[in-house]
Chain A
Amino acid sequence: MKAINILLFKRLIKVGFSFFLLSILFNTGCVESRKIASKSGVQLWAENCQRCHNTPSPSSFSASQWETIGMHMQSRALLTENEKNKIIDFLQSSGR
């Protein structure tokens, strides 16, 4: 019984420590560099869309459709918020 408690305690420590590290990483480590922040929408569009499929033509969808597709793509490709916003802005402005 004592051995089980010790094992459980060790597991709790491991889980708690992992969660603590992830929290630090999540809240403080998640900033982009100036190089990344300065990228334009067209650059992010060219780099990220082709990770899975061909780069989409801006004229394929309307501005409202790009807004909706952007959310879908952000959740699939796990784009950062900055990437999604810049790519959608580029697609919306270029499609007109």
Chain B
Amino acid sequence: MKKTVFKIFFTFTFCLFCLVNSIVAQQDVQKTDSSVASNPVVDTILQNRVAALEKQVAVEKKGESHFMVVGLATMGFMYNKSVTTINGIGTTTKTSSFPDIDRFEISPMMLWRHGKKLLFEFEPSWNGTSFGVNWGDVSYFVKPGFIVRGGYIVLPFGIYNKRLAAGWINKLASDPVGIADYPPSSDYGVEITGGLPLGNMKWSYDVSLTNGMQLLNDGTMQSSGIVDNNINKTLTGRISILPFSNSCLELGVSGLYGGIGDANSNYKNAKSNMYALDFNFVKTVSKILLNVKAQYNYINVTNENYVNPTDTNSTYSFNNKTTSFFGQLSMRATSAPGVLKNFELASRYVNYTTPVNSIWGAITDEYDIGIDYWFTWRSVLKVVYESQKITGTTPISLGGYLSNSTQNNRIVIQYSVQF
């Protein structure tokens, strides 16, 4: 009996407490409403302002995902005078083209980020005659200094292909022959990479495992449009160090090793090993921004026997070694008055030597000099003079000549922009 009374009393008290609280809360709301009613103008202004701020925050609020398109466009005009001399007899050819079809490029790069760990990159490219893909990969930022990437990746060989090939970055109009296109710049595979501090210095590593190239019947290598029909893979890696605390100097060493033989051909055991050294120095000295870049590539392929194109019943062989080098210097007076600070003077020397006694044997020497005008940090007009001499070294037994050389003199006017 006592328990029942207690329960009834407790329940009644609890309900009364809730009722009183509700009444009090309603009275507070009524007071607020009445205060609003008494100052409608001030509160409306505040409410409108809060609403506008909330809208602005919603627009600028960072989400998990973000998609954007950046890219580049390069186009121009080229005039070329070519003098080919074979066994002492010269032939002169003059050509000109809009929009400089050998250097035309439109490449929109798509970047999609999910959070702070995942990045998708895809860059298709139109070069005036065909569509291609420069790279298409996914990167996962595992931890500081450790990125894992997979897909169609740019090989970590040297510095030019990964960082300097874009038209709005290249100080001159053309890519250095033998550097940008041989070995290939992209391949299918996986990669680990990262940059790490080292006291006052920095160092970086970049290692990839990819399908690899394929040896052709003339000793050259092909990278795109091939079917990987062997179990060989290609290992490519680069290590670099920036020894100064202001990052003005970077020294890199690269290596590549892999099987390149088509499993169904006579070259199934062919191997290739390559090395590269790269140098990058950028610093303002006496109010002049000095920019020095260089790269040396050495490519070696195992000696194989190839069918003689002039006599298919015989074979030939040669030391399949290729070297390529470029060194460039550019200067810009960044403190000069007016538009003078927008001009940059650039020069480059290129040497590309392909195997003597091969069908494609030649020595190429090229000197480029140009002047750039920077409209903005990513928009440039270049006027460049290129002098290139190619001396053939194919032996007569393979269809070569006693003497064979081509002298190309070009003027290139090129505009390139990042968008």
* Shortest Cβ distance from A82 into B: residue: B197
Known A57-B377, A82-B197: A75·B119 in contact at CB below 8 Å: yes
B200 surroundings in chain A (CB, below 8 A): 33, 35-36
Q: Determine which of A33, A47, A68, A69 lies in contact with B246 in the assembled complex, contact meaning CB atoms within 8 Å.
A: A47
Q: Determine which of B111, B144, B282, B376 lies in contact with A68 in the assembled complex, contact meaning CB atoms within 8 Å.
A: B111
The answer to whether A78 touches B199 (Cβ under 8 A) is no
The answer to whether A67 touches B62 (Cβ under 8 A) is yes
Per-residue A-contact encoding for B120-164, CB less than 8 Å = 1, 0 else? 010000000000000000010100110101000000000000111
| A2 within 8 Å of B (CB atoms) | no
How far, in whole Å, are A33 and B199 apart by their CA atoms in the complex? 4
Known A51-B247, A68-B119: A26·B169 in contact at CB below 8 Å: no
Known A47-B246, A53-B378, A57-B376: A26·B68 in contact at CB below 8 Å: no
How far, in whole Å, are A54 and B374 apart by their CA atoms in the complex? 10
| B300 within 8 Å of A (CB atoms) | no
| A23 within 8 Å of B (CB atoms) | no
Known A35-B200, A52-B163, A63-B60: A47·B66 in contact at CB below 8 Å: no
| A65 within 8 Å of B (CB atoms) | yes
Known A53-B169, A54-B377, A75-B193: A67·B66 in contact at CB below 8 Å: yes
Q: How far is the CB of A73 from chain B (nearest CB, A)?
A: 10
Q: Using a CB-CB cutoff of 8 Å, which residues 286-339 of chain B contact chain A?
A: 289
The answer to whether B113 touches A71 (Cβ under 8 A) is yes
The answer to whether A30 touches B113 (Cβ under 8 A) is no
Known A47-B248, A53-B169, A64-B66: A72·B121 in contact at CB below 8 Å: yes
B194 surroundings in chain A (CB, below 8 A): 78
The answer to whether B111 touches A31 (Cβ under 8 A) is no
A52 surroundings in chain B (CB, below 8 A): 163-164, 169
* Shortest Cβ distance from A51 into B: residue: B282
Per-residue A-contact encoding for B225-262, CB less than 8 Å = 1, 0 else? 00000000000000010000111101000000000000
| A12 within 8 Å of B (CB atoms) | no
The answer to whether A77 touches B378 (Cβ under 8 A) is no
Chain B interface residue count, CB cutoff 8 Å, equals 47
Per-residue B-contact encoding for A22-41, CB less than 8 Å = 1, 0 else? 00001001111101100000
| A74 within 8 Å of B (CB atoms) | yes
The answer to whether B197 touches A77 (Cβ under 8 A) is no
Q: How far is the CB of B123 from chain A (nearest CB, A)?
A: 11
Q: How far is the CB of A63 from chain B (nearest CB, A)?
A: 7
| B206 within 8 Å of A (CB atoms) | yes
How far, in whole Å, are A32 and B144 apart by their CA atoms in the complex? 13
* Shortest Cβ distance from A30 into B: residue: B196
* Shortest Cβ distance from B166 into A: residue: A53
Q: How far is the CB of B60 from chain A (nearest CB, A)?
A: 7
Known A51-B280, A71-B141, A80-B197: A65·B377 in contact at CB below 8 Å: no
The answer to whether B144 touches A76 (Cβ under 8 A) is no
A82 surroundings in chain B (CB, below 8 A): 144, 197
Known A33-B200, A35-B245: A80·B145 in contact at CB below 8 Å: yes
How far, in whole Å, are A49 and B197 apart by their CA atoms in the complex? 17
| B70 within 8 Å of A (CB atoms) | yes
| B391 within 8 Å of A (CB atoms) | no
Q: How far is the CB of B35 from chain A (nearest CB, A)?
A: 37
B162 surroundings in chain A (CB, below 8 A): 76
The answer to whether A71 touches B139 (Cβ under 8 A) is yes
Identify 7 residue pairs between A and B in the complex whose beta-carbon atoms are under 8 Å apart, listed by A's number: A51-B280, A54-B374, A72-B119, A75-B119, A76-B163, A77-B195, A79-B195
14 more CB-based (< 8 A) A-B contacts, given A35-B245, A72-B111 = A26-B196, A31-B199, A32-B197, A32-B199, A36-B199, A36-B245, A53-B166, A64-B68, A65-B68, A67-B66, A68-B66, A71-B139, A74-B195, A75-B147
A contacts, CB < 8 Å to B: 26, 29-33, 35-36, 47-48, 50-57, 60, 63-65, 67-69, 71-72, 74-83
A-B pairs, 10 with minimum CB distance: A32-B197, A81-B144, A78-B195, A78-B204, A54-B377, A30-B196, A68-B113, A71-B119, A53-B169, A47-B247
